[in-house]
Chains A and B, each alone.
Chain A
Amino acid sequence: MKRIYVHEEYCIGCRLCEIHCLVQHSRSKKILKAFKEEFPRAVSRVLVEEHGYLSFALQCRHCEEAPCLEACITGAMYRDKRTEAVLCNEEKCVGCWMCIMVCPFGVIKRDLESNKVGSKCDLCLGEEMPVCVQNCPNEALTFEERTET
């Protein structure tokens, strides 16, 4: 499948990926509105980790055998047939946080308002490329189909 790959040696820690992810998942999808008018503010589904000069953006890896899929007690977590992305059906989610317990990347966040899985990368379905990749100024994120496992 087409995945987001992270090249930590080129991540400059600007966090533009987080900003644009937040905007993409806001109601208006407009940056100024998303930050200045929408409350609660949308949550970014990508997380930039920093340590010294090392940094990288981390978002759901859409694992081939995804622990969150196996652990989900409601079946809310599902794999999208077309993109093979792991997505969460918020209708079904009851917020048992099994997924948070098993995700080894720690990239699933709670949405405290709705007490549902709030922040889970959806590869920006609809966009031809996830916005974090689109907006990375240094190509530290790439969106590729790689054959090698």
Chain B
Amino acid sequence: MNYTIIGNSAAAVGAIEAIRRYDRKGEIVVVSREPYSVYSRPLISHLLAGHIQENRIFYREKDFYKRNRIQTFLRREVKAIQARSNHLLLDDGERLGFEKLLIATGGCPMIPPVKGIDRRGVFTFTTWDDAKEIRRYVRENPVESAVVIGGGLIGLKAMEALMASGLRVTVTELMDRILSATFDKKASEMIERQLKARGVNLITENTVEEILGSHNGIEEVLLKDGRRLKCQVVIFGIGVFPNIGLVKDTPIRYNKGIRVNAHMETNISGIYAAGDVVEIPDILLDTVRPIAIWPNAYRQGWIAGCNMAGTPRRYEGSFAMNSIEICGIPTISVGMAEAPENGFEIIQEFDSKSGTYKKIILKDGVIVGALFIGEIDRAGIYTGLIRERIDVSGVKDILLREDFGFISLPREYRKHLVRGEGVFL
């Protein structure tokens, strides 16, 4: 059996490890645009900030491909998927036949229509190369200040990295607050206060309209409200969208992302897709949408891999969740950060002294959202309750109490303890 995988990140690794679990012989081919052995994209901010050395960015051991007997086509780009004939056409014209195909091409950074984005000093922030280039540029040019476009997770991680490298940083956010997608107002305020305290220049309800400068670099940016900001670097940190370029003009169906069934298989049998490139059921919002987070990517890859290797497994769907530490404040947000309409119950707890904030959102006795700022220990319990749709109305009042724990939950749910089995997330 031949398994071919386009992409080389979490979903790809998940698939490889699943395939090898059930099929030790089959041939596995990985085609990746990037030249590197599998590495962890979320670590690029740590790298840029100098928190870690390059050798620590690798997601798996050096011998990962060798041990799993994988034929790699690195620094090679797939030009086209020939779904009918089960072939891939590579940039150099080479054709690769496949029996099972996994499309794990991930996402691409969003770049809004801004004039002057081709100037030197303008970067995106998703790949190791991005990080390397930013670093080189900052080292080789007289750079003092930067503008980060986007007050979401990526933008803020980029901001942190740049501050760590000694730059003055401005963050522009279109909405009225940062992290509007993952936090509620109070949480955003808490972080904003911290950012300002650390000298970050936050500009909300505003964005860059044009990047001005000369051939040898950026001099300033022009904001929507006409203001101008001196800076030498501009980074787009808005977010990513599914990288579905490849499947356009193929019979593979897609919407925002590639559409897959519970086996992570596309409408073309034998062709699977996983990771940031797909759209999957959001079990909280009852919609199908891309949820571009690492744990999903790996698990989808794993599920796809199982099915490709002939062991049927179903993907349960997922929901938004994120863990991020900003200015040393750990935060976790799972599911909804704010109640969309009435009919939701909210339990919260705020302690300005310790700077902690906890919030649980319930619908019909079931948790649909949890938000933790400052204090995140045991947050996973709530994630589990959301995932398993456990009715917690019985213990509502103690949900956020110090001593709330597994013991407060129905015995049936505690069966995990005795059985010692894992649960899936």
A34 vs B92: C-alpha distance when bound (angstroms): 63
Seen from chain B, the residues whose Cβ lies within 8 Å of a Cβ on chain A are 14, 40, 42-43, 46, 51-52, 56, 58-60, 294-295, 298-299, 302, 321-325, 330, 332, 334, 376-381, 383-385, 387-388, 403, 405-408, 414, 416-425
The interface centre, meaning the residue of B298, B376, B408, B417 with most chain A CB atoms within 10 A of its CB, is: B417
> How many residues on A have C-beta within 8 angstroms of the other chain's C-beta atoms?
46
Q: In this complex, what residue of B is CB-closest to A70?
A: B298
Could you show 30 A-B contacts with beta carbons less than 8 Å apart?
A5-B418, A5-B420, A6-B418, A47-B405, A56-B406, A56-B407, A63-B422, A65-B422, A74-B43, A74-B56, A92-B56, A94-B43, A94-B52, A95-B325, A96-B42, A96-B323, A98-B295, A99-B380, A100-B332, A101-B322, A101-B323, A101-B332, A101-B334, A101-B380, A103-B380, A104-B381, A104-B388, A105-B380, A105-B416, A106-B406
Closest CB in chain A relative to B70 CB, distance in Å: 16
Are B294 and A98 in contact, with the CB atoms below 8 A? yes
Out of B40, B330, B384, B387, name the residue touching A75 (CB < 8 Å). Answer: B40
Are A73 and B42 in contact, with the CB atoms below 8 A? yes
Are A104 and B416 in contact, with the CB atoms below 8 A? yes
Q: In this complex, what residue of A is CB-closest to B298?
A: A70
Are A94 and B387 in contact, with the CB atoms below 8 A? no
**How would residues 95 to 117 of chain A score, 1 for a CB under 8 Å from any chain B CB and 0 otherwise?**
11111111111101110000000
Seen from chain A, the residues whose Cβ lies within 8 Å of a Cβ on chain B are 3-8, 47, 49-51, 54-56, 58, 61-67, 70-71, 73-75, 91-92, 94-106, 108-110, 146, 149
Are B295 and A102 in contact, with the CB atoms below 8 A? yes
Assuming the A-B contacts A100-B323, A105-B381, are A149 and B43 also in contact, with contact meaning beta carbons closer than 8 angstroms in the complex? no
Out of B43, B381, B403, B422, name the residue touching A66 (CB < 8 Å). Answer: B422
Are B295 and A6 in contact, with the CB atoms below 8 A? no
A6 vs B323: C-alpha distance when bound (angstroms): 30
Are A49 and B406 in contact, with the CB atoms below 8 A? yes
Known: A6-B417, A98-B323. 8 other contacts (CB 8 A): A3-B420, A49-B405, A61-B417, A70-B14, A100-B332, A101-B380, A104-B383, A149-B419
Are A97 and B330 in contact, with the CB atoms below 8 A? yes
Assuming the A-B contacts A74-B59, A75-B60, A94-B52, are A51 and B408 also in contact, with contact meaning beta carbons closer than 8 angstroms in the complex? yes
A92 vs B39: C-alpha distance when bound (angstroms): 12
Are B405 and A104 in contact, with the CB atoms below 8 A? no
A7 vs B419: C-alpha distance when bound (angstroms): 10
Closest CB in chain B relative to A45 CB, distance in Å: 13
